[in-house]
A and B are shown apart, each in its own frame.
Chain A
Amino acid sequence: MGSQVILDIISSSFVFGTLLVMALRLNGSVTENLETYNGEVIVQDNMCNVVNLIQYDFRKIGYCLDPTQIPDPTKAIILADTDRIKFYTDLSDATHPFGDGSLDIVYYYLGPTSELSMTPNPNDRILYRVVNNAPPKGSNLGVTKFSLMYFGALNDTLHTPVANPGAIWSMQITVQVQNYSMASLHYNTAKFDNPITQSYWRQMRLVSRNLKNR
């Protein structure tokens, strides 16, 4: 084995090592990007699910298949606060797609962050949806903000908790959803980067047709 062979081996090892490092680096970077994008898709999907549910329910505030069950629409909202609302509606099911004609009470409220202390994200909370006297139901969709503002007939902001819910004409709902797990950034990050990179929020103003229909 001459010195030329040794030199060739050293050179080829150096080239191979360089290529290997590049491949590993590429693999890590790709994995991180996939994790980031996948997280964004999950958050976006969760946001759509939450917003669809809220819009579906809130549009039916004060609705009943049998209108005589709720003759005075100003009594449709029972409780109105910044992070909770309770109202009358008539929920549909498979056999009654437009409601069954009896009033239901739906209660939305945001749980404390301590309930989800096991998740890496310190801000996520459970958005509960309680129907009548059933046990509260909620799943961790990464909701970090569920904020309600209420407006009167002249578009004036009502102080919360609203003392007279009958004065509510419209409301503004703000929902923010984050990934409940923190991104494990190693490659494409800076010190100032927030490890919770995935966050979507949606703000909408809703006027239930049944709130002031009479």
Chain B
Amino acid sequence: MGRSAIILVIGFTLIFVMTGRNLSSLGTTAFTTAINYYENTQGHNIAEAGANFACNQIFLSPNWRSGYSNVSFGGGTFTVTASPVSGSINQVQIVSTATYQGNSFQENILLQPSGFSKFGFWGGTGASAAAWETGDTVTGPMHVDGTLETYGQPVFTGKVTTKNGWNNLLPPQLPQFQGGYQTGVSLPLPTTAFPKLDSTAVAGGYKRVGSDLYLQFNANGTVTWRNTAAGTPTTVPITTLAPNGVLEVDKGNIYVQGTMSGQLTIFANKSSGSTGGQVFVQNDLVYATDPRVNPASTDMLGIVAMGDVTLLDNGASTFNMMASTYSQAGGLAVQNYNSRNSGVLNVIGGMIVQNLYATSNGATGASRRGYNLSLQYDTRFLVSSPPSFPSTGSYEILSWWE
């Protein structure tokens, strides 16, 4: 009887031990799975925190490159480096590496200087006086350095930022902010942009002072220039005339037209005095390769002027201009807008203007004069810009690998 009892006890004990072991093993496996998921999430979050810290530093101080080393955070550590990308124009690579529970996690962020050409529309205080109404569509990023006035339901497909908020003149109809809306963002045109562009033109571009310049672009990558409208023409490759892509006329005006192949920024400066600083577009100004047809087109034109960029009255009912236009103190003007033939003004690129001018007389039917403005954003300007186009002074994210 005693032996049987002992065997019985040992047998049951073995059964319980095996059962307990199996249950414990399953419990441990489940716990390990949960812990692994938690550790991966936490490690990723720490790396992301390091990347956010670095982005914030560069936002506050664009020249920040000191990085972080072994910063304790969230039970782990992160190390961040910020270094220039070789072979690029001022791009910065941020690498944030987190260590958590012996595992390593990494995030890579590529930044580049943000140029004003990235805007489909940038409007200064003067431009903010005009209201965007039902039927208006703005593509690409938009900023108003004042108050955004809306009337009805205009559509903004890109992100809209304003300095002083948004005023809806026709409630309850609301504008469509498809790319988001943010207020409290001050982004004035920089006063340092023109001296910088001037020194670039002097250093390796083209500069003339005190007289006008007439440019006729040719589809083969050359440009025919004259000193007057009927002057002697000289034809040279754009890359010969302005090797670094910046062409400046100071205290004079630039007259331009034609089909452009290549990359150039024409710059009408007015460093002193009261003359010059304007650009006059005589006829269609288009790219040899239309980026709407071929997004791989490398043709890019920047028009930078101290004053207005004016489309001269050529009698045509359709006027095409492909460029990103930057006017420090003026806007995009249509000559004889209330008396010229009615039609459409196609702007493919962007408008960065202090003032917004009327392009038509506003009438309908037979009494209609001037142009309807069709502004189509050139999406290539999201990642690239015409040569030495004015910069906002801050960086923007090109890609974020996590």
Q: Is the CB of A164 within 8 A of B178?
A: yes
Residues of A within 8 A of B (CB): 19, 23, 26-27, 30, 33-34, 37-38, 40-41, 44-45, 48, 51-52, 59-60, 63-65, 67-68, 71-74, 98-99, 152-154, 164, 166-167, 169, 209-210, 212-214
Contact for B34 among A44, A72, A153, A214, CB less than 8 A: A44
Residues of B within 8 A of A (CB): 8, 12, 15, 19, 22-23, 26-27, 29-30, 33-34, 36-37, 40, 108, 110, 118, 141, 157-159, 177-181, 295, 379-380, 382-384, 396-402
> Among A41, A72, A214, which residue has the most Cβ atoms of chain B within 10 A?
A214
Q: Is the CB of A153 within 8 A of B179?
A: yes
Q: Is the CB of A63 within 8 A of B178?
A: no
Between-chain CB contacts (< 8 Å), 19 pairs: A23-B15, A26-B15, A30-B15, A33-B23, A40-B30, A59-B402, A63-B400, A67-B398, A67-B399, A71-B380, A71-B382, A98-B401, A154-B180, A167-B179, A209-B397, A209-B402, A213-B398, A214-B141, A214-B396
Q: Is the CB of A98 within 8 A of B108?
A: yes
- Residue of A whose beta carbon sits closest to that of B379: A72
**What's the Cα separation between A166 and B379 when bound, in Å?**
13
Q: Is the CB of B23 within 8 A of A169?
A: no
**What's the Cα separation between A63 and B179 when bound, in Å?**
18
Enumerate the 9 nearest inter-chain pairs by beta-carbon distance, A residue then B residue, closest first: A153-B180, A209-B400, A213-B397, A67-B398, A72-B379, A37-B26, A71-B383, A71-B382, A167-B178
Taking CB atoms, residues of chain B closer than 8 Å to A59 are 402
A59 CB to closest chain B CB (Å) equals: 5
**What's the Cα separation between A112 and B234 when bound, in Å?**
70
Q: Is the CB of B383 within 8 A of A214?
A: yes
Q: When A30-B19, A68-B384, A214-B118 are in contact, do A48 and B37 touch as well, CB less than 8 Å? A: yes
Taking CB atoms, residues of chain B closer than 8 Å to A209 are 397, 400, 402
Q: Is the CB of A67 within 8 A of B383?
A: yes
Q: Is the CB of A153 within 8 A of B37?
A: no
A78 CB to closest chain B CB (Å) equals: 16
Taking CB atoms, residues of chain B closer than 8 Å to A41 are 26, 29-30, 33
Taking CB atoms, residues of chain B closer than 8 Å to A63 are 399-401
A109 CB to closest chain B CB (Å) equals: 24
Q: Is the CB of A64 within 8 A of B178?
A: no
Taking CB atoms, residues of chain A closer than 8 Å to B22 are 34
Q: Is the CB of B159 within 8 A of A64?
A: no
**What's the Cα separation between A127 and B216 when bound, in Å?**
59
